[in-house]
Amino acid sequence: MEVKALACELPSEQGLPLSRFSHAELARQAVARGLVASISGATVWRWLSADAIRPWSYRSWIFPRDPQFAEKAGRVLDLYQGLWEGQRLEPDDYVISADEKTSIQARRRLASGCPAASGRPRRVEFEYDRQGALAYVAAWDVRRAKVFGLCRRTTGIESWHDLVDLVMRQEPYASARTVFWITDNGSSHRGHTAAQRLANWYANARLVCTPVHASWLNQIEIYFSVVQRKVLMPNDFPDIHILEDHLLRFQTYYETIAKPFQWKFTRDDLARILDKIQQPAEQLMAA
């Protein structure tokens, strides 16, 4: 029990120049503290494994610090369920998820690679020259599985405006009752000013921002993960023009096979998670 308690302490609290304990280091500390006369790292690992204690592992964690986190996140989750302010969305209401994927490099490999062969994966030259970078600004129609996107050298209000125009100037969005735009808190599309700006551009467009540190609520991030796997890995583009061509042609290709994402995370799931982390968050803020 004392060895397990030691494993649940931070090395820095013991004055040790370590970021985390290994089972071998825990064994040495147990001996140094006089908890045991001798012990092996394997024994420590076996004891800790019985209670699923792994002090050598860690995960990054961001506590929700926005006092309106549940309210803001709930609005987004309601839209994914086809609801807004307790009312069912009409057929001429649309939900758009949008964001930017920034700093996409075009890497020209210094030697030609080899395709896959029997017993051998594809080979890609390790060294490359950077040929510039693009920002991919894209929007995803949550209920229709439609993709809209464009490439720019930089992000900002102008690029964001171009994307909004690309969507809102075509049907069915131009004549829609309401087009909800779900975004994160990027500098070009956050806060009351951005919401008013969008409404000035198009009277039937409404901005709905996720809480801070909640981009995972934005479905466009799922599409970006598909782009990362299917288009950008491995990164082998002679120049940014070919990179742009691949990104835009992939949109057309993806729409031929795309279906709406089966989003199952609801307000109830969110409430359960927030309740679970509320006590650790309060302890952290108190500290």
22's CB contacts (< 8 A; 6+ apart) are 41, 56
The pLDDT of 107-117, averaged and rounded, is: 94
CATH number of the domain that residue 220 is part of: 3.30.420.10
Write down the pLDDT at residue 87: 96
Mean pLDDT of 126-149: 96
Residue type, 71: E
Tell me: do 196 and 164 sit in the same domain: yes
Does position 286 have pLDDT exceeding 60, yes or no? no
Predicted confidence at residue 63, as pLDDT, reads 79
Confidence of residue 195 (pLDDT cuts 50, 70, 90): very high
Q: pLDDT tens digits, residue range 149-163? A: 999 999 999 999 999
- Quick: pLDDT tens for 29-62: 999 999 999 999 999 999 999 999 999 999 887 7
Please compute the mean of the pLDDT values over residues 119-123 and round it to a whole number. 94
Q: Are residues 22 and 76 in the same domain?
A: no
Q: What is the pLDDT of residue 14?
A: 85
Give which of 32, 37, 27, 38 is closest to 4, Cα–Cα. Answer: 27
Q: Are 158 and 17 found together in one domain? A: no
* 285 has pLDDT over 70: no
Pairing of strands 93-109, 128-141: antiparallel
The boundaries of the domain holding residue 33 are 2-50
Taking a C-beta distance cutoff of 8 angstroms, is the pair 99, 186 a contact?
A: yes
- Same structural domain, 156 and 14: no
Per-chain mean pLDDT for the chain: 93
Given this model, what pLDDT does residue 135 score?
Answer: 96
Q: 74 and 45, same structural domain?
A: no
Does residue 222 have a pLDDT over 80? yes
Reported as a single tens digit per residue, the pLDDT across 237-263 is 999 999 999 999 999 999 999 999 999
- Which one, of 156, 178, 162, 159, lies nearest residue 96 by Cα? 178
Closest by CA position to 166, among listed 141, 189, 152, 148: 148
Contact 63, 69 (CB under 8 A): no
Residue 284 lies in a domain: no
Question: What's this model's pTM, rounded to 2 decimal places?
Answer: 0.84
Task: Quote the percentage of the chain above a pLDDT of 90.
Answer: 86
Instruction: Give the strand pairing for 93-109 and 178-183.
Output: parallel
DSSP one-letter string for 19-74: SS--HHHHHHHHHHTTS-S---HHHHHHHHHHTT--TT----------TTHHHHHH
162 vs 67: which has the higher pLDDT: 162
Co-location of 199 and 88 in the same domain? yes
Specify whether the CB–CB gap between 231 and 254 falls below 8 A.
no
- Residue with tokens 């930017």, as numbered in its chain: 100
Q: What is the mean pLDDT of residues 133-145?
A: 97
pLDDT higher than 80, residue 287? no
Residue 156 burial (CB < 10 Å; 0-12/13-18/19+)?
middle
Q: Mark residue 145 as left, alpha or beta (left: phi above 0; alpha: psi -120 to 50; beta: remaining).
A: left
What pLDDT, on the 0 to 100 scale, is given for residue 283? Answer: 56
Structural domain includes residue 18: yes
Number of domains in the chain: 2
Residue 76 and residue 43 in one domain: no
Q: Are residues 105 and 22 in the same domain?
A: no
Q: Which residues contact 275 (CB under 8 A, 6 or more apart)?
A: none
User: Domain check: are 137 and 197 in the same one?
Assistant: yes
According to the model, what pLDDT value does residue 61 have?
Answer: 77
